[in-house]
Structure 1
Amino acid sequence: MIRKFYFLIVVISSLLSFPFILRYLIITKKSNFINNIYFNLPVIINNKKKCRNYDFLYKSLDETYSVSIINENGTLISSYNDKILRIPASNLKLFSTAYLLNKYKSSKNFKTSIFRRNSNKYYLLGSGDPDLSYSDIYKLLSNISYNKKINLNIFEINSKYYWPKGWTSGDKKFEYGAPITTLALNSNQSKYENIETLKRSIEKYLFNKYPSSSIKVKIVENSKKFYMKPSIELDSIRSNPLLSLITLANSESHNFTSESLFKNASNTWNDNNYFKLKNWLRNIGLNVANSSFADASGLSRNNRVNTKLIAEFLNKMKYSKDFSTYQSSLSIIGVRGTLAKRYSNSELQGKFVGKTGTLSNVFALSGYLFKDNKSFVVSIIQNSENIDRDTTFNLLKNIYKLEGCF
Structure 2
Amino acid sequence: MKFKRLTAIGRVVGFLILFSGFPWSVKAVSADAQLLGSTQYIVSAEQNSASNICPAQLPEAIDAIVDRPEHRRQHWGILIETLSPSRHLYSRNAQQYFIPASNVKLFTTAAALLQLGSDFRIRTSVYGKDGILRLVGRGDPSLTDAQLRDLAQQLRRQGIRQIQRLIVQDGYFQGLTLHPTWEWEDVYSDYAAPVNSLILNQNVVELQLSPQKLGQPVKITWNDPFAAWQWQIENQTLTAASGVKNDFEVNGILGKPSLQIRGQIAIDSPPEVLSLPVRDPGEHFLQHFKLALLQEGITVTQSQVTTSTEKVNEPELAFVESPPLFQMIADTNQPSNNLYAEALLRTLGVNNSSSTNQNTATLGLNSIKNSLINLGVDGESFVLADGSGLSRRNLVSPASVVQTLQAISQSPQAEIYRNSLPVAGVSGTLRNRFRETPAIGIIYAKTGTLTGVVTLSGYVDAPKYQRLIFSIMVNHSNQPARIIRQSIDEIVLLLTQLSRCE
Correspondence for 2:193: 178
The CA distance in 2 between the partners of 1:352 and 1:341, in whole Å, is: 13
Correspondence for 1:71: 82
Aligned equivalent of 1:265, options 335, 348, 357: 348
* Residue 192 (structure 1) shift: 4.7
Q: Which amino acid aligns with 2:348?
A: A
2:179 paired with 1:164: yes
Aligned equivalent of 2:65, options 42, 60, 68: 60
* Residue 97 (structure 1) shift: 0.6
Correspondence for 1:333: 424
Correspondence for 2:499: 403
Matches within 5 A, 1:232-311: 232-267=315-350, 270-273=359-362, 274-311=365-402
Matches within 5 A, 1:301-380: 301-371=392-462, 372=464, 374-380=466-472
The CA distance in 1 between the partners of 2:408 and 2:359, in whole Å, is: 29
Correspondence for 1:13: none
Decide whether the 8 Å contact of 1:156 with 1:220 is kept in 2: yes
* Residue 239 (structure 1) shift: 1.2
Aligned equivalent of 2:489, options 365, 377, 393: 393
Which sits farther off after the overlay, 244-253 or 279-288?
279-288
Q: Which amino acid aligns with 1:396?
A: V
Decide whether the 8 Å contact of 1:165 with 1:272 is kept in 2: no
The CA distance in 1 between the partners of 2:496 and 2:160, in whole Å, is: 67
Decide whether the 8 Å contact of 2:165 with 2:303 is kept in 1: yes
Deviations for 1:170-190, whole angstroms, at most 9, x for unmatched residues?
Answer: 112111111112211111122
Correspondence for 1:40: none
2:193 paired with 1:101: no
* Residue 201 (structure 1) shift: 4.1
Decide whether the 8 Å contact of 1:165 with 1:295 is kept in 2: no
* Residue 70 (structure 1) shift: 0.6
Matches within 5 A, 1:70-219: 70-72=81-83, 73-116=85-128, 118-142=129-153, 143=155, 150-157=164-171, 161-190=176-205, 191-192=277-278, 194-203=281-290, 209=297, 215-219=301-305
Q: Which amino acid aligns with 1:251?
A: Q
Deviations for 1:52-80, whole angstroms, at most 9, x for unmatched residues?
Answer: 52221123324511100111311122101
The CA distance in 2 between the partners of 1:210 and 1:247, in whole Å, is: 36
Q: Which amino acid aligns with 2:169?
A: F
Q: Which amino acid aligns with 1:69?
A: I
Give RMSD over aligned pairs. 2.6
TM-score, length of structure 1 as denominator length: 0.79
- SS of equivalent residue, structure 2 residue 184: coil
Aligned equivalent of 2:307, options 208, 221, 224: 221
TM-aligned CA distance change 1:147 to 1:275, over 3 Å: same
Deviations for 1:178-225, whole angstroms, at most 9, x for unmatched residues?
Answer: 1112211111122357222333344566678466x7x22121115x23
Correspondence for 2:30: none
The CA distance in 1 between the partners of 2:162 and 2:123, in whole Å, is: 29
TM-aligned CA distance change 1:149 to 1:182, over 3 Å: closer
Decide whether the 8 Å contact of 2:103 with 2:446 is kept in 1: yes
Aligned length: 351
- SS of equivalent residue, structure 1 residue 272: helix
The CA distance in 1 between the partners of 2:184 and 2:326, in whole Å, is: 31
TM-aligned CA distance change 1:60 to 1:343, over 3 Å: closer
Q: Which runs of 4+ in 1 moved over 6 A?
A: none
Q: Which runs of 5+ in 1 are unaligned?
A: 1-49
TM-aligned CA distance change 1:139 to 1:391, over 3 Å: same
The CA distance in 2 between the partners of 1:137 and 1:242, in whole Å, is: 20
The CA distance in 1 between the partners of 2:288 and 2:81, in whole Å, is: 54
The CA distance in 2 between the partners of 1:254 and 1:220, in whole Å, is: 27
The CA distance in 2 between the partners of 1:107 and 1:279, in whole Å, is: 21
The CA distance in 1 between the partners of 2:292 and 2:191, in whole Å, is: 30
Decide whether the 8 Å contact of 2:199 with 2:285 is kept in 1: no
The CA distance in 2 between the partners of 1:160 and 1:339, in whole Å, is: 34
The CA distance in 2 between the partners of 1:270 and 1:397, in whole Å, is: 43
Decide whether the 8 Å contact of 2:148 with 2:292 is kept in 1: no
- SS of equivalent residue, structure 1 residue 345: coil
Q: Which amino acid aligns with 1:246?
A: I
The CA distance in 2 between the partners of 1:101 and 1:89, in whole Å, is: 20
* Residue 127 (structure 1) shift: 2.2
Decide whether the 8 Å contact of 1:369 with 1:376 is kept in 2: yes
* Residue 270 (structure 1) shift: 4.5
TM-score, length of structure 2 as denominator length: 0.65
TM-aligned CA distance change 1:204 to 1:401, over 3 Å: closer
Give the helix-richer structure, 1 or 2: 1
Decide whether the 8 Å contact of 1:294 with 1:300 is kept in 2: yes
TM-aligned CA distance change 1:205 to 1:395, over 3 Å: closer
The CA distance in 2 between the partners of 1:354 and 1:55, in whole Å, is: 21
- SS of equivalent residue, structure 1 residue 300: coil
- SS of equivalent residue, structure 1 residue 348: coil
The CA distance in 1 between the partners of 2:294 and 2:434, in whole Å, is: 56
User: Identity of paired residues, percent?
Assistant: 26
The CA distance in 1 between the partners of 2:496 and 2:298, in whole Å, is: 66
TM-aligned CA distance change 1:343 to 1:147, over 3 Å: closer
Correspondence for 2:249: none
The CA distance in 1 between the partners of 2:163 and 2:55, in whole Å, is: 75
Q: Which amino acid aligns with 2:187?
A: K
The CA distance in 1 between the partners of 2:324 and 2:193, in whole Å, is: 22
The CA distance in 2 between the partners of 1:187 and 1:175, in whole Å, is: 9
Deviations for 1:115-159, whole angstroms, at most 9, x for unmatched residues?
Answer: 11x312211112222232223223323417658871221111489
Q: Which runs of 5+ in 2 are unaligned?
A: 1-53, 67-71, 206-276, 352-357
Deviations for 1:292-333, whole angstroms, at most 9, x for unmatched residues?
Answer: 111111111110001011112111112111101111111110
